[in-house]
Structure 1
Amino acid sequence: MTDLRLERFELEGANVFCARLLGVNRFAQSRENAAALAERLVREQRDGLILDYRACTLDHTIEQFAEIAEIFIARVPKTCRIAYVYGPDNMMHALVMTKRLKAAGYPAAAFADWEGAEGFARKTGR
């Protein structure tokens, strides 16, 4: 996998933004994308977010990925439900991210499959 590609779409019948990441996600690019995504979630008043990392390779450490969580914590309303779909190589990244988000008061969870993430994102409230 080389360059990062993003597939962006809305979850049908829900106010949930989805992004599927394909390829290599580098730390500097991840920071930029997280800031732009946080801005978009606020601007579009989204109820939820699903990030699908199953076809993505992260070149940054788990600690660096935790820094990405801080971008969301600083900018996204705590009512936004955030779901991560992870692959075998980035499971720990997703778990650290959701642990940080949950500690900050977000409804957040990590899933090994799309169906679990979609069910979580479609729920309302906490």
Structure 2
Amino acid sequence: MALPWLVRLSFEVPAELLARLPSEERDFIMETREWYEQALKQAEERGIERGIERGIERGIERGIERGQLRMTARLCAMRLGRPLAEAEHAALASLLDRLGEERVGEALLSFSAEALAAWLADPSAR
């Protein structure tokens, strides 16, 4: 945490003082400035790369979630013998988020059409 402040202090050495410093100290200050600028540039590039990677990962996750919801909704509609109502579709999405695909799959396969409709209508369903 102190490094940026220490580097900043070395950047703020007045020119007249810098000229009077021994060459080793001047070289050290110049090298430190270059190193710091390179480190900042690399950190900035890594940050951008990480942001892109995170965005791609999140996009893939959302695509998988949407595909999972779409397939589960189709299976529910088949079990019910009719398309899902908008509220049922929203409830199904919430159930998948809250309970996970395994529990929703169990309910889908084991409940009768009437029980499945009731389960989708129950906001506290488990």
> What's the TM-score once normalised by structure 1's chain length?
0.20
Question: Which fold has the larger relative contact order, with Cα–Cα distance below 8 Å and residues 6 or more apart in sequence?
Answer: 1
More helix by share: 2
Higher strand share: 1
